Amino acid sequence: MLEPVGTDIKIGEGAKKMDKEEASRGHGDYVHDIENDGVEDESAGIGRYWSELSDKTNASTKPLLVKRTNTTSQIAIVGSNLFPIESLDYEIFDNQIFKQDWRSRTKVQILQYLTLKWGFAFLIGLGSGLVGFFNSFAVENIAGFKLILTISLMSESRYVEAFVAYAGVNICLAAAAAALCAFIAPAAAGSGIPEVKAYLNGVDAHTILAPSTLCVKIFGSILGVSAGFVVGKEGPMVHTGACIASLLGQGGSRKYGLTWNWLRYFKNDRDRRDMITCGAAAGVAAAFRAPVGGVLFALEEAASWWRSALLWRTFFTTAVVAIVSRVAIGFCSTGKCGLFGEGGLIMYEVSSASATYSATDILAVIILGIIAGILGSLYNYLVDKVVRTYSIINEKGAAFKISLVVIIAILTSSCYYFLPWIANCTPCPSDVTVSCPSLDNSGEYRRFQCPPGYYNDLASLFLNTNDDAIRNLFSPKITKEFHISSLFIYFVTIFFLGIITYGIAIPSGLFIPVILAGAGYGRLIGRLFEPITKLDRGLFALLGAASFLGGTMRMTVSICVILLELTNDLLLLPLVMLVLLVSKTVADNFNKGVYDQILKIKGLPYMEAHAEPYMRTLVTRDVLSGPLITFFGIEKVRDILHALTTTGHNGFPVIDEPPISDSPELCGLVLRSHLLVLLKEKIFSRDKNLVDQSTLQRISALDFGKAGSGKGIKVEDLDIEDEEMDLYVDLHPITNASPYTVIETMSLAKAAILFRQHGLRHMCVVPKSQGRPPIVGILTRHDFMPEHVLGLYPNIDSHKWQ
Amino acid sequence: MLEPVGTDIKIGEGAKKMDKEEASRGHGDYVHDIENDGVEDESAGIGRYWSELSDKTNASTKPLLVKRTNTTSQIAIVGSNLFPIESLDYEIFDNQIFKQDWRSRTKVQILQYLTLKWGFAFLIGLGSGLVGFFNSFAVENIAGFKLILTISLMSESRYVEAFVAYAGVNICLAAAAAALCAFIAPAAAGSGIPEVKAYLNGVDAHTILAPSTLCVKIFGSILGVSAGFVVGKEGPMVHTGACIASLLGQGGSRKYGLTWNWLRYFKNDRDRRDMITCGAAAGVAAAFRAPVGGVLFALEEAASWWRSALLWRTFFTTAVVAIVSRVAIGFCSTGKCGLFGEGGLIMYEVSSASATYSATDILAVIILGIIAGILGSLYNYLVDKVVRTYSIINEKGAAFKISLVVIIAILTSSCYYFLPWIANCTPCPSDVTVSCPSLDNSGEYRRFQCPPGYYNDLASLFLNTNDDAIRNLFSPKITKEFHISSLFIYFVTIFFLGIITYGIAIPSGLFIPVILAGAGYGRLIGRLFEPITKLDRGLFALLGAASFLGGTMRMTVSICVILLELTNDLLLLPLVMLVLLVSKTVADNFNKGVYDQILKIKGLPYMEAHAEPYMRTLVTRDVLSGPLITFFGIEKVRDILHALTTTGHNGFPVIDEPPISDSPELCGLVLRSHLLVLLKEKIFSRDKNLVDQSTLQRISALDFGKAGSGKGIKVEDLDIEDEEMDLYVDLHPITNASPYTVIETMSLAKAAILFRQHGLRHMCVVPKSQGRPPIVGILTRHDFMPEHVLGLYPNIDSHKWQ
């Protein structure tokens, strides 16, 4: 075991000035822990105290390769692009200035805050609801007209022109979506759910919630879905909801002139996180018209942190979404929205009146779940491989990105258009109420190449929007039948198209591909199991979709409720629950959920809810690394400036010494951003005195509000004169006097859970015994990452302690 | 501000022996903090170190009065009886023995643990499902035959005999239920949800989950509901589920010979808490046949602590319940269960095909919600008053309890029988498919005193089971109409009967009374609003029920989902959400949710999820009180025994001194229960030596497992010889080396949240500066209670800092 570093450093040795060259040579045994880091070492040196690896994530813009073993990436690969990331801090920052501000709040201000909080929840719901409506409206119209064009050309037997029209429109739409992503907001590519999940875990990738990302996400998603890709709008809607929330929470966007100064109460990570949680819920609620499902999705999948007050606010947000959706559907059902508005509020209504089942039915369902679990984990495995491959291609430039999208568009169009030719023609049902073959956009019976009076069942699946294909697959047997061969072709095609489509540079949700593949799979299994079960095949399709969702996303309650709200069939609940349990259990043996995998690929340092078992054998001081840099309660400007310029640390412990205190004691923690405010405002004094109230009047709590993502004062913005360098700064007013502390012998597992549950950015490690410096190190997110810990202790058996 | 106590106490002064008389005189300035406590002072004294109020909740059996202002009750008033309570500890106890045990676990043992965990979840689901079925089966049959008897007597115009029969059966059933509660398990009275909520928050009232409580709860609930009281089975079912879980988790019950020694892995509060969470969810799932609602109820209302793995297990449990319910209903639908089994799986199926609504409809719904919010908070207010009054009566003895129940039974029977005479007779509908007047148990049209061909609408509500009354109220207008006067009488009667029934000594759920009153209210409002709204009155009844639930229980998502699962009408979701939001918001302005109020009446020291605002102005050392008692790493038997007998503390800090360590340092925390094991096993040594491994072999981690509620070794069980008194005990193997520590200047608000989020029992307060003892105090649940803090600082403005 490594000897704990830093324990033999004496407090109060006085500053030993080092120039940058000297510092950059590293410091013997302290630096070995971070020497593989590639980013930090050259800036870690400062003479006096040594930082035991404080927060480094905001430190550099030097890109890292995806394959890094021994450290966390400071730069995440998001949407196949490199972005700086930053840790968030959900702690209540308990310094004098904030306390003063909090105490002086008037009733009116509190009321204003509460009103804004609920007003924002309302606006998030309203915004998400409207975007969801706009998205459906646009997709249904664009894709609908495309399909009508294709079908009408085909009905005149102009097959080549039909393909050219079909593929041409798809390629144009796809290229437009890709161009938006490539040139305007690369962060808008992909699902967005992993990034939102990371944000709510405490990792902010800067551009991920920017207004430009929001715009591209909305329009890119419409274009992408309309282009016939096997992608959904759900992930993008979650991301959109989060962006809307972030836009409001950051006090608008200065870049686009959308700012409101009266939003100062929300200038902290805590309130923003709550709003973004609401936004994620609103996104699901808008995408699926599933308000309760949205709340549960936010709770189960998106959020790392929860409290009942938030449940209540999230619920309000999704209620607003539900009402907006309802009004919009009501408005459109009268035909005012073009091709949109026929479906009603329930997206895939299932009405399987018979809901009795026997033991063999349950056996069939269990087998369905087991296979789906295996296929689901295979799906995740392949998505992982594909995304890794694509990110290499996408890194080469915008042209590569767009080309990749176009290639996949051509492939998708070809599959959709040419595969139905294999299928046999089926005579139209004798029921006169159905129009067969159907010519409208959401046709259940596509004639395709068949003679009049016949229809092509495979075309009815392929030549439709994704939503209509799902509706067809869920329809009960009496309405509609699909051949086994058609279902098999459909399932295999969608399964692989879904995999190769995720990772291209367009906004792409994963829900719909999984539901499509699952519904195809379920209906196929239903047909194959005909001899042993009497369950309806539409029901099998629904169970297949549920099992695939369980197998890939590994959610449970939220999927259940979302499916309930999508299909409005409560009687199926026990079977849906059963199949979800089986598929999730099977799939969990192979790999992790798809979003967790993508998080990992993107290099986002996500903290798991549980600690790794081997962490129970370590204590906190075992993972401390790097030099610890501390400040005195009253510190020289020069030393502060030196620490800020030569390190990337975001938090520094403050130590009081005699005469200010009787003995050396930990005063608290200061943040880089707060130090910068103090330096910028030049709250200096000539002597080592505590700052007086009149000087402090020059700054207010507002100045210390957390700036928007990636904004705020930088060291380069400071303008400190040479003669000011030897003045003093009193750090007490900005020192968080209640930092979270753990004792150095605290189990690392417990510390990790503490860190995660409180959404911390820095955690102070204090010594166990007397006569030592009052702080021995600072733990950050980085220090809990398995890569870091296993890097320090390569001989630990990471698998033994399950 | 008080000077922090204990800071000037020197470590290592050596033991100063005091006899009990001397100790009981108290210790000047240290005792004043707890002198209003009435329980602890006389046992708090020990010579050497002073406990700053450690865990006292297990200390005494002296009953406290209900009205106590300045301290938390050590004895809670549960079910109108006094029970000792104990804090639970959800921390991973990180001492050498447990670590050793954990490291030596084999793959087989891990598998065994996992299997058991899921096996238990299955058994909890199975048990709750079966109890739920048995409950419904018994209630429907008992109440059904009672109703058939009454109605057949009435149809022969034998009105007096009918009343005697009706009231007689009710009184007998009520008296039986009361006798069970009074003589066998007083803890079974009431809802049980507050107690389960308290348990999951970390407060264990000993008999609350005992097997006797389980039995009485099951049969008492059946008798109580059958007796026609305005009570539900839902609260009792939640309690039943928790009891089943507890029975499994505690390794069975030794008292009843139901023990399994291979359950040792579950001998800790953490695993038990998880199981009881599953049990609570299973209870709701079984009562309402609402599996998803059950999970959400556990999450939103019952549990104080959650993680996604638990969501998953809870979900599995309720899935089992759903399947059991389904099989049972399938079995009974063929008429094998007497009068039970006609309803189908959905308890109150609503089929309101039309679900469009206008702006005036929404206005009507909002008004409905506002009034319901006011009425809901009034309900809570009155329940509070009534329960307080009843608890005085109930304390006087079993005879008083039973009398009170009988009086309420007579009152209820009289209201139910005589009030319908006021109502007018309504002609039967001309529809020939309905049998009017209906003579069976679940009759929709009761003839009562009316001439043939007529029915009494009020009797159709009163002379039915609660479930059938709800079904009648939810039925759409076309099926059934109620007069405004009948609805008004019904609503007022049920509203007040519900209030005066809760608190009597029978198992009584609150959901059904609230749903009944709400449905009556909603339908009444629906009729009154006829001029402005076209919404169906059955729908109004549903919305009324939702709004009342929101107004009293203050849950949101779980009520939504439970109502969804009860009625199977998804299209109403936006309106249900709206009305819940309105009523909860209105009601929150007046008082707290009904379960929180009951928790408070019962004196259970529940920790809120948020800290009180004034706690932000205090730091942890401000609330430390009482003397701190610490042990050395190697301590004399006599001193340990003295500390154990003269205090009620459950945790003691252990301090190492030279030569064991270089300087005095905090080694960790030992628990009373672990000390007792060590003393019982006599792991002593003649010298101040660290214990050797061979001696330690005599004890295993199993011996240290947490005993069942209220069990475990007591000091009186020890048998220490006089000559053993001067031997030494090495406490290191049982010392938790990773206690949660906070620095003495940590904000109290932050410490409270830390304490609650990690489910702690003890939290060590460490000094900020050097040269002080390594620990200055221990915080327990007690120290965070507003009563305690405001007792110490009566001048703090507890309202200013909102």
Residue B26 pLDDT level (bands cut at 50, 70, 90): very low
CA nearest to B593, candidates A116, A309, A313, A114: A309
- The verdict on residue B429 lying in a domain is no
The pLDDT of residue B522 is 94
Is A145 found in the same domain as A59?
Answer: no
Average pLDDT over residues A551-570: 86
Query: Considering chain B, what percentage of its residues have pLDDT values greater than 70?
Result: 84
Residue A176 pLDDT level (bands cut at 50, 70, 90): very high
| Helix (DSSP H) and strand (DSSP E) numbers for chain A | 27, 16
CA distance A556 to A572: 15
Is A407 found in the same domain as A338?
Answer: no
Residue A118 sits in a domain of what CATH number? 1.10.3080.10
Average pLDDT over residues A486-507: 94
Give the total number of structural domains in chain A.
Answer: 3
Q: Which of A185-189, B196-200, B609-613 has the lowest mean pLDDT?
A: B609-613
pLDDT digits (tens, 9 = 90+) for B751-795: 999 999 888 999 999 888 777 788 899 999 989 998 889 888 888
Last residue of a domain, one of A344, A368, A395: A344
The pLDDT of residue B214 is 94
Tell me if A388 sits within 8 A of A80, measured CB to CB.
Answer: no
Partner residue opposite B743 with nearest CB, options A565, A570, A666: A666
Is B54 found in the same domain as B197?
Answer: no
In degrees and rounded to multiples of 5, residue A304 shows phi and psi of: -100, -10
pLDDT digits (tens, 9 = 90+) for B152-188: 898 888 899 999 999 999 999 999 999 999 999 988 9
Residue A297 pLDDT level (bands cut at 50, 70, 90): very high
pLDDT digits (tens, 9 = 90+) for B97-151: 888 887 787 888 888 888 888 899 999 999 999 999 999 999 989 998 999 899 8
Which amino acid appears at position A140 of this protein?
E
The pLDDT of residue B256 is 62
CA distance A640 to A650: 12
Is A263 found in the same domain as A205?
Answer: yes
Is A389 found in the same domain as A315?
Answer: no
Tell me if B633 sits within 8 A of B730, measured CB to CB.
Answer: yes
The interface residues of chain A toward chain B in range 309-338, judged by CB-CB distance below 8 A, are 309, 311-312, 315-316, 318-319, 322-323, 326, 330
CA distance B771 to B768: 10
- The verdict on residue B2 lying in a domain is no
Residue-range definition of the domain harbouring residue B585: 359-424+457-601
């050596």: which residue's tokens?
B14
Q: Does B568 touch chain A (CB under 8 A)?
A: yes
Instruction: Calculate the average pLDDT of chain B.
Output: 81
Average pLDDT over residues A774-789: 90
ipTM of the complex: 0.83
The pLDDT of residue A685 is 84
- The verdict on residue B441 lying in a domain is no
Dihedral sign (CA B461, B463, B469, B471):
negative
Is B723 found in the same domain as B699?
Answer: yes
Partner residue opposite B322 with nearest CB, options A345, A574, A769: A574
Partner residue opposite B665 with nearest CB, options A574, A750, A770: A770
Q: Do A92 and B749 touch (CB under 8 A)?
A: yes
- The verdict on residue A266 lying in a domain is yes
Is B684 found in the same domain as B565?
Answer: no
- Does A305 have pLDDT greater than 90? no
Q: Does B255 touch chain A (CB under 8 A)?
A: no
* Region at A337 (left for phi over 0; alpha for psi -120 to 50; beta for the rest): alpha
pLDDT digits (tens, 9 = 90+) for A264-274: 677 888 888 99
Chain B residues with CB-CB distance to A771 below 8 A: 662-663, 770
- Does B543 have pLDDT greater than 80? yes
Partner residue opposite A323 with nearest CB, options B570, B574, B770: B574
Query: Considering chain A, what percentage of its residues have pLDDT values greater than 70?
Result: 84
pTM of the predicted protein model: 0.86
- The verdict on residue A740 lying in a domain is yes
CA distance B740 to A386: 44
Chain A residues with CB-CB distance to B557 below 8 A: 292, 295-296, 311, 315
CA distance B4 to A213: 53
The pLDDT of residue A572 is 79
Q: Does A126 touch chain B (CB under 8 A)?
A: no
pLDDT digits (tens, 9 = 90+) for A128-156: 999 999 999 999 899 989 998 998 888 88
Q: Do B737 and A745 touch (CB under 8 A)?
A: yes
Rounded to a whole number of angstroms, the distance from the CA of B653 to the nearest CA of chain A is 13
The pLDDT of residue B348 is 72
The pLDDT of residue A55 is 39
CA distance A712 to A95: 19
| Cross-strand bridge partners of residue A778 | A764
The pLDDT of residue A76 is 53
Q: Does B356 touch chain A (CB under 8 A)?
A: yes
Average pLDDT over residues B672-690: 85
CA distance A425 to A423: 7
Average pLDDT over residues B247-273: 72
Average pLDDT over residues A715-731: 87
Partner residue opposite A581 with nearest CB, options B99, B319, B616: B319
The pLDDT of residue B31 is 26
Is A124 found in the same domain as A64?
Answer: no
Is B372 found in the same domain as B325?
Answer: no
Would you list the DSSP string of A541-594? Answer: HHHHHHHHHHHHH---HHHHHHHHHHH--GGGHHHHHHHHHHHHHHHHTT---H
CA nearest to A548, candidates A476, A470, A463, A483: A470
Which residue would you say has higher pLDDT here, A481 or A457? A457
- The verdict on residue A92 lying in a domain is no
The pLDDT of residue B19 is 33
Last residue of a domain, one of B551, B571, B601: B601
Q: Does B84 touch chain A (CB under 8 A)?
A: no
Burial A596-618 (b: 16+ CB within 10 A, else e): bbbbebbbbbbbbeebbebbbbb
The pLDDT of residue A44 is 26
Q: Count CB neighbours of A289 within 10 A.
A: 30
Last residue of a domain, one of A577, A601, A625: A601
Retrieve residue B107's tokens. 């793959």
Q: B686: buried, middle or exposed (CB in 10 Å: 19+, 13-18, 0-12)?
A: exposed
Residue B557 pLDDT level (bands cut at 50, 70, 90): confident
Average pLDDT over residues A485-494: 94
The pLDDT of residue A54 is 34
Residue B706 sits in a domain of what CATH number? 3.10.580.10
- The verdict on residue A224 lying in a domain is yes
- The verdict on residue A85 lying in a domain is no
Residue of B nearest to A736 (CA): B746
The pLDDT of residue A648 is 84
Q: Do B616 and A102 touch (CB under 8 A)?
A: yes
Retrieve residue A596's tokens. 């967790």
Which residue would you say has higher pLDDT here, A415 or A530? A415
CA distance B145 to B339: 8
Question: C-alpha angle A255/A261/A265, rounded to 5°?
Answer: 115
Is B683 found in the same domain as B594?
Answer: no
Is B322 found in the same domain as B363?
Answer: no
Which residue would you say has higher pLDDT here, A390 or A710? A390
Is B168 found in the same domain as B139?
Answer: yes
